[in-house]
Amino acid sequence: MAMNSGDCKRMLRAWLLNGDIDLLLPEVTALRGIPQPEEFHPEGDACIHTLLAVEAVDDGEDQRVFWGVLLHDIGKATTTFFSEGRWRAHGHADAGAKRAPAIMARLGLQELADDVAWLVKNHQYHFSWQIREGEALTIRQKRFTEHPLFPLLERVCAADLAGRGKLEN
């Protein structure tokens, strides 16, 4: 039986409680203490952001969305640097996408690896589009939106956005 995002979130919570997260997903725990620009990520480091984003995924969602959200910023652990007065992580999506297949294989979810890597690689697509109101998509953009995983990517992006904000006291 295939898992959904709710199943995955319960599993992740158990790993966080019993400490297995450090062994099973060191790429995620490596995000602890990785700074992000406060104007975009007031919630804190990349690990806090990731966990908040995961919680924003609907429990009934396809598990590929969960894994895409959980792994979307793992590349920040190796690409984050301070420049011109702020933290940057150029290339983090590509770096994370390259690591995603091995992670999925390690977890026994090899059949999801290519899809999750695509979601991680493309989770920032909208930042480069710069579409003005009333403008049509380019042929390339339209073709991209027709990709079979695009609806899942939109939900990964929504969770990423929902994971940005201040923690409540």
- Structure confidence by residue, pLDDT tens digits, 105-141: 999 999 999 999 999 999 999 878 877 888 888 899 9
Q: Which amino acid is located at 110 in the chain?
A: Q
The reported pLDDT for the residue numbered 122 is 97
Residue 105 is predicted with a pLDDT of 98
Task: Flag whether pLDDT at 27 surpasses 60.
Answer: yes
Q: Provide φ and ψ at 83, rounded to 5°.
A: -150, 140
Phi, psi for residue 47 in degrees, rounded to 5: -70, -45
Residue 165 vs residue 51, higher pLDDT: 51
Question: Which amino acid is residue 69, in one-letter code?
Answer: V
| Dist CA 46 CA 109 (whole Å) | 24
pTM: 0.93
Q: Do the beta carbons of residue 28 and residue 50 sit within 8 Å?
A: yes
Helix 63-71, helix 46-55: angle, nearest 10: 170
Query: Where along the chain do its domains lie?
Result: 5-162
- How far separated are the first and last CA of the chain, in Å rounded? 38
What is the CATH number that goes with domain 5-162? Answer: 1.10.3210
12 contacts 133 by C-beta, under 8 angstroms: no
